[in-house]
Amino acid sequence: MTMDDTSHRIHNPAAPDEIVAEVTLTAPAGLPGLVANARRAQKEWAGVPGAQRAARLNAFLDDVEAACEEIATSITLEQGKPLAEARGEVMKSVSEGRAMAGHAMLAGTMAVASARPFVRNMIVRRPRGVITAITPWNFPILTPMRKIAPAIAYGNSIVLKPSEFTPTAAVILDRLARAHFPENLLTVVFGGAELGQALSTADIDGITFTGSVGVGRHILAAAAASNLAEVSLELGGKNAVVVNDFEDAGPALEAIVGAAMQCAGQRCTAISRVIVNDEIAEDFVAALSARCAAMIVGDGRSPTTQIGAITTAAQFSKIAGLVELGIKEGAVCTAGGGRAAVADRPHGRFYAPTVLDRVTPDMRIAGEEVFGPVLSVLRYRNFDEAIEIANAPRFGLTSALFSNRNDLINRFVDEVRSGMIHINQGTVPDSHMPFGGIGDSGFGSYSVGPSAVSFYTTEHSVYNQYG
């Protein structure tokens, strides 16, 4: 790996004075050589039969699973989430990787009826080539593995740039991969915006990015202007749950709080808006606020911690600013609303689980992604209004409905504007299902599931005349 002499230190968000890792930043000038090496490795790997690629990928995933504790500890120290969550993230990445190995095994040649005699028509798929992956800090192993596994399964090489705030999980993946794949099939580079820009215009065949809408638009424009590489963007969300009716509020409350507060709300699929039937709103908001207020905030290494630290100082400031603005615009804070005091980590970036009631669709916090442990409650009088509120933001990643009415369930499935739809459950996706969004939440093929083949391979029509 070609590096310059610039080192970058990573600090623990629960104790910002604590340095927990250090990496050497990659010089953008060295990228052409790295990409050339990746292209040579890809040509070798493309010649390996698909079943053998899947077997070697699964062996690599075995090693990732065996390194769960090492990886999870690095995630907690760098990202801030509780250790139990970090372990779950590692195992989720393994599960998704195994599912993608299975999907790749099924992506073969397809026979198609011919329009002419003595001609055999086929559709075949080939590996796309060299893939660039740029990933964020909130899921230091899940998001990189969501790109590494399908890239390798379908016969590509991959150049990965993890977030400079949470790089160690990728360092471990790089180490483990060396025992299973050709040299340079996985290349890990480290850097910030300058390196990301260089990757967007490098001589590669596909770019997969997870992060903000603004950066995603920039990557799409850069790729269009330089190399016309295929682009897959997994962007933000302003996810809504509509609470219309229920026999028992307990499961709904548990699902909503879990989906909203995991990773301290720093996840694109987090529930951010609770759109609740006005007839049940008072009691439901009181119960929701009580559950959030009772959650334990602290260092992710403590076994009692339920919500860890906010990863970056900039993100903490954004969360605090949006909550303050929401209250100023008329929202009523019924839980949290500011920094959480943690006795043994007085300087940690901890934000209290927050509920803002009486939010209206015109408020900024109703439409902007907070990316923090904050729930905005909006009330509605009829289901038409609920659907209108849910669909108001330009985001369209995931959504949920709690109702026992079959007519409303079917309307929600037909009318809500999101790529993933959950009924009477939170917003946790399955490992083998398509993962992605519409509108400002995504562009191109979904990143998990059978449709990922459209990004990681190219399609070719074959006409074979034999008579």
Q: Model confidence over 101-135: pLDDT tens digits? A: 999 999 888 999 999 999 999 999 999 999 999 99
If we measure between CA atoms, which residue out of 203, 177, 153 comes closest to residue 46?
Answer: 153
Tokens representing residue 74 in the block:
């690095």
User: What is the C-alpha separation between 417 and 413, in angstroms, rounded?
Assistant: 9
**Helices marked H in 212-294:** 213-226, 249-261, 281-293
Let me know if 333 is a catalytic residue. Answer: no
C-beta neighbour count of 429 within 10 angstroms: 17
The phi and psi torsions of 54 (rounded to 5 degrees) equal: -65, -40
Q: Which of 78, 85, 230, 234 is catalytic?
A: 234
Let me know if 234 is a catalytic residue. Answer: yes
The pLDDT value recorded for residue 5 is 54
Q: From residue 91, how far is each of 75, 85, 154, 332 by CA, in Å? A: 13, 10, 22, 39
Tokens representing residue 19 in the block:
């340095």
The pLDDT value recorded for residue 107 is 85
By CB neighbour count within 10 A (0-12 exposed, 13-18 middle, 19+ buried), where does 140 fall? buried
In which residue are the tokens 């850097």 written? 191
User: What is the C-alpha separation between 451 and 99, in angstroms, rounded?
Assistant: 12
Percent of the residues in the chain that have a pLDDT greater than 90, as a whole number: 96
Tokens representing residue 276 in the block:
């609740």
Q: Model confidence over 36-91: pLDDT tens digits? A: 999 999 999 999 999 999 999 999 999 999 999 999 999 999 999 999 999 999 99
Parse the chain into domains and list their residue ranges.
Answer: 7-235+441-465, 239-434
Task: Map residue 226 onto helix, strand or coil.
Answer: helix
Span 239-434: which CATH code? 3.40.309.10
N- to C-terminal Cα separation, the chain: 52
What global pTM score does this model have? Answer: 0.95
Run of H or E residues at 276: strand 271-277
**Ranges in the chain, pLDDT < 70:** 1-5
Q: Which of 268, 292, 333, 369 is catalytic?
A: 268
C-beta neighbour count of 87 within 10 angstroms: 17
Class for domain 7-235+441-465, per CATH? alpha beta
Cα dihedral across residues 36, 189, 265, 427: positive or negative: positive
User: What is the C-alpha separation between 219 and 228, in angstroms, rounded?
Assistant: 11
